[in-house]
Amino acid sequence: MKLSYSLGSLLSVNEVLQCAGKTAKAKPDTVWIPETWGMENFAMLSAISSRTKSKIGSSIINIYSRSPSLIAMGAATIDSISNQRLILGLGTSSVPIIQGLHGYAFERPLQRMKETVEIVRLALSGKKIDYSGQIFSLKGFTLLIKPPRPAIPIYIAAINQKMTELTWRIADGVIFYLRPISEMKSTISKMQKKRTIDVACQLISSVSENGEQAKERVRKTLAFYISVGEIYRKFLAENGFKKETDNIYGEYQKSGFKSNHELVSDHMLESLTISGTPQECKKQLKKFYNAGITHPIMQFNPIDDVGKSFDLFTKTFSDV
């Protein structure tokens, strides 16, 4: 069974590097690096490539702030540096990030994803590209460096049904996030009958000998994403958590992040995340494997000292 770790968001650059170095003993399938509005993804993947022998993955590179050609250039560069260990995770991100932080119009996400994947694959094949799409038109583009592989695995972050269907048609894997376990089980069962791909799911996770402390840490992270991520809030509301999401978002609008995590229900924790004591977390992880997830990505949420917390984190899940 595959098992991977995601490092970022709550960590500094140096803490990411420190934790990546510790994965030599844990031997995860992949070390994934997120990108929001802090650490730049390709730079961090380059930095951790010498710290771990595992595969390295972007979770995710958004397809609006970089052109398909630039994504291909970055992927070929990192794949060369890492000796062919890259998994290229792509996603559309969200309206607030693309329009608010990058200043681009969030338009035609499905078509843009389709064309981006096509162009990246053509570029990495080493062929000269003459491409005419509905969004992108390229003439005579060829990478100046020879890609070490003619193809790099491409995973797509999918939330809504149309992106999920596109992912199963064109990608090597999917990356799910903040989906109720019952909904994922149904979706995975249906989609895998059409075509079998790697089903990755990034799970907000925290482990502590003090189980309640770990649960509080995860509640805070979950409340953050529900508060600032309209796309996640809407999806969860449509899939059994409307009351909770309304309450969490309403409290965020009144008082910020001071106490809205207290409105995250135990049912939300059980359905969306992994947290508690080591024994509790091992038991919870098995439920997600049983739902059809082939590649759980444990999103590290530290408790107190980052190094010690990550040691307990990796020891817990390496034993599953």
Give, in order, the Cα–Cα distances in Å from 174 to each of 21, 52, 216, 268, 297: 26, 23, 29, 22, 12
Under-70 pLDDT residues of the chain: none
In sequence order, what are the residues at sequence separation of 6 or more whose Cβ sits closer than 8 angstroms to the Cβ of residue 158?
164, 166, 167, 174, 175, 176
CB 287 within 8 A of CB 275: no
Q: Which residue has the tokens 């003439």?
A: 139
Q: For domain 4-210+273-318, give the fold.
A: TIM Barrel (3.20.20)
- Picking from 236, 72, 89, the residue whose alpha carbon sits closest to that of residue 158 is 89
> What is the structure's pLDDT at 127?
87
Measure the CA–CA gap between 8 and 190, rounded to whole angstroms.
Answer: 32
Domain boundaries, the chain: 4-210+273-318
> What is the structure's pLDDT at 1?
79
> What is the structure's pLDDT at 299?
98
